[in-house]
Amino acid sequence: MTMTVQSGVTLREIINEAAKYEMALPYTPYWWGLTIGGLIGTGAHGSTLWNKGSAVHEHVIHIRIVSPAEQKDGYAKVRNLIEFQDEDINAARVSLGVLGVISQVTLKLEPMFKRSIAYLTKSDSNLGDEVISFGKKHEFGDVMWYPSQEKAVYRVDDRVSIDTPGDALYDFLPFRALPSELYDVNRNIEELQEGLPFAEGKCWFAKFVTGTLAHASYGLTNNGLPFFEYPIVGFHNRMQASGACLDSWENHLTSCPWDWRINGEFYHQTTFSISLSVVRNFIEDVQTLVRLEPKALCGLELYNGILMRYVTASNAYLGKMEDGVDFDFTYYRSKDPLTPRLYEDIIEEIEQIGLFKYGGLPHWGKNRNLAFVRAIKKYNNAKKFLEVKKKYDPQGLFSSDWTDQILGLKEGVTILKDGCALEGLCICSQDIHCAPKKNYFCVPGRIYKEARVCRHVEGQTNKISDMRDEL
């Protein structure tokens, strides 16, 4: 019931090899193109509140790590960290790469099982009330939230007996290889909508995108064939993750949507987890903003809305502090860093509400600079992590300015320059951090007055002073 792999092995290989022996890694990210070294290095996870939780590093029982050493010791020290024997394993589970090279990882597996999935679309009016009970009730549940459409799609996803009939395959549609021309058209439409600007158009298109995905069951099939009724049952290894676009044709006729060699998706991703104790308040704040600006979040829905997944408290020093819900926001990024996006201010306000009002923990492998402002202070065991770092790599050979900054060892996690807030390099404090020539000025948030966001205010400088006076 264990599997030992070298750190460059991909999630896809792990899932497939384990399945050959009728074993399964229970909770994983949804994209299988990640390596085990990289995904545990940043605390990557799937969705559950059950058992040991959704982060893969919770299922790691042994880590072999190589760190620098003195000449007399052959320049390298190899440590074998074993669960319950070496406390340092709690630093190495989520290491950000700064302790040394993880060369081998042993994972605890389970006997293969089946899952049953049904998607249930509801009004989002009770989302804040339902989110915790839903997570506790369904082992692999998650929620896709379309706030502008006032809808939430609950994934009712449970473990079922291995002899339940069904051979479902989850080949998530946005991870499939599609013709590069299609991505090109898609990107051009979004650039046009942003440039005009045409928020209404984004809302229509978002409904088309989310409707198409729902119609195609998000990529779930009955072993490649359509099916007509939920739930659908299949083996865990065929439903837990996907990434067919990795097998795109070499000539780039098809590709992954974010492939930089084509004119495809180009976006920011803000991802943080909010403790269960305040998740309802956070959801209600987002709903209040949507009531004030109903079209503001249509742009998120073009990227299939806000993905909400369950995460659990961890012993890893840089793992989650409490059980919570992880929110993924994916949104348009201009190729010109000085060009603001539509409703720039609303997404910035949500980002600051999540991170600062509710103390959200940023995903270490995603996010823009501002998410890491004082982030390390949110971890009770940060000091222990830094002690292990000092012991393993006293000279900081495996550190960079960036890792020192996010670990609070150096100043400069944010960068102040013209337009810096547009790219999330800073939180604006002056208009030049936004795009004043394009009428985007730095103002307080609408409901979270401590936030500072870049808002479009058409030619009304006195309005801006009014807003500042509110401070």
Ligand X SMILES: Cc1cc2nc3c(=O)[nH]c(=O)nc-3n(C[C@H](O)[C@H](O)[C@H](O)COP(=O)(O)OP(=O)(O)OC[C@H]3O[C@@H](n4cnc5c(N)ncnc54)[C@H](O)[C@@H]3O)c2cc1C
Q: Which residue is nearest to ligand X (CB)?
A: 38
Residue selected from 78, 101, 214, 409 as contacting ligand X according to rule CB under 6 A: 101
Interface of this chain with ligand X, residues 215 to 234, rule: CB under 6 A: none
Residue 41 lies near ligand X (rule: CB under 6 A): yes
CA torsion, ordered 227, 232, 237, 242, to nearest 10 deg? 50
Shortest CB 53 distance to ligand X, Å? 12
Shortest CB 362 distance to ligand X, Å? 12
Residue selected from 29, 53, 257, 444 as contacting ligand X according to rule CB under 6 A: 29
Determine contact, residues 193/200, Cβ cutoff 8 Å. Answer: no
Shortest CB 256 distance to ligand X, Å? 8
Residue selected from 30, 218, 331, 441 as contacting ligand X according to rule CB under 6 A: 30
Stretch that binds ligand X, among 90-98, 136-144, 423-431, 434-442 (CB under 6 A): 90-98
User: What are the b/e assignments for 199-234, b being 16+ CB within 10 Å?
Assistant: bebbbebbbebbeebeeebbbbbbeeeeeeeebbbb
Residue 45 lies near ligand X (rule: CB under 6 A): yes
Reply yes or no: is the peptide bond before residue 197 cis, omega within 30 of 0.
Answer: yes
Shortest CB 271 distance to ligand X, Å? 8
Residue 97 lies near ligand X (rule: CB under 6 A): yes
Residue 102 lies near ligand X (rule: CB under 6 A): yes
Nearer to ligand X, 24 or 435 (CB): 24
Shortest CB 103 distance to ligand X, Å? 7
If binding means CB under 6 A, how many residues of this protein chain bind ligand X? 21
Stretch that binds ligand X, among 27-35, 275-283, 377-385, 388-396 (CB under 6 A): 27-35
Nearer to ligand X, 311 or 435 (CB): 311
What are 116's strand-pairing partners? 158, 233
Residue 240 lies near ligand X (rule: CB under 6 A): no
Residue 7 lies near ligand X (rule: CB under 6 A): yes
Residue 42 lies near ligand X (rule: CB under 6 A): yes
Nearer to ligand X, 174 or 444 (CB): 174
CA–CA gap between residue 275 and residue 307 (Å, rounded): 16
CA–CA gap between residue 360 and residue 11 (Å, rounded): 27
For the beta carbon of residue 251, count every other beta carbon within 10 angstroms.
8
Residue selected from 27, 31, 317, 358 as contacting ligand X according to rule CB under 6 A: 31
Residue 35 lies near ligand X (rule: CB under 6 A): yes
Query: What string marks each residue from 347 to 366 as x (binds ligand X by CB under 6 A) or -?
Result: ----------------x-xx
Residue 59 lies near ligand X (rule: CB under 6 A): no
Nearer to ligand X, 343 or 364 (CB): 364
Of 271, 294, 408, 401, the C-alpha closest to 346 is: 294
Shortest CB 435 distance to ligand X, Å? 28
Nearer to ligand X, 147 or 362 (CB): 362
Residue selected from 26, 37, 234, 444 as contacting ligand X according to rule CB under 6 A: 37
Residue 34 lies near ligand X (rule: CB under 6 A): yes
Nearer to ligand X, 39 or 300 (CB): 39
Nearer to ligand X, 229 or 247 (CB): 247
Shortest CB 392 distance to ligand X, Å? 11
Of 438, 342, 451, the C-alpha closest to 467 is: 451
Shortest CB 162 distance to ligand X, Å? 25
Query: Site residues (CB under 6 A) for ligand X?
Result: 7, 29-31, 34-35, 37-39, 41-42, 44-45, 95-97, 101-102, 363, 365-366
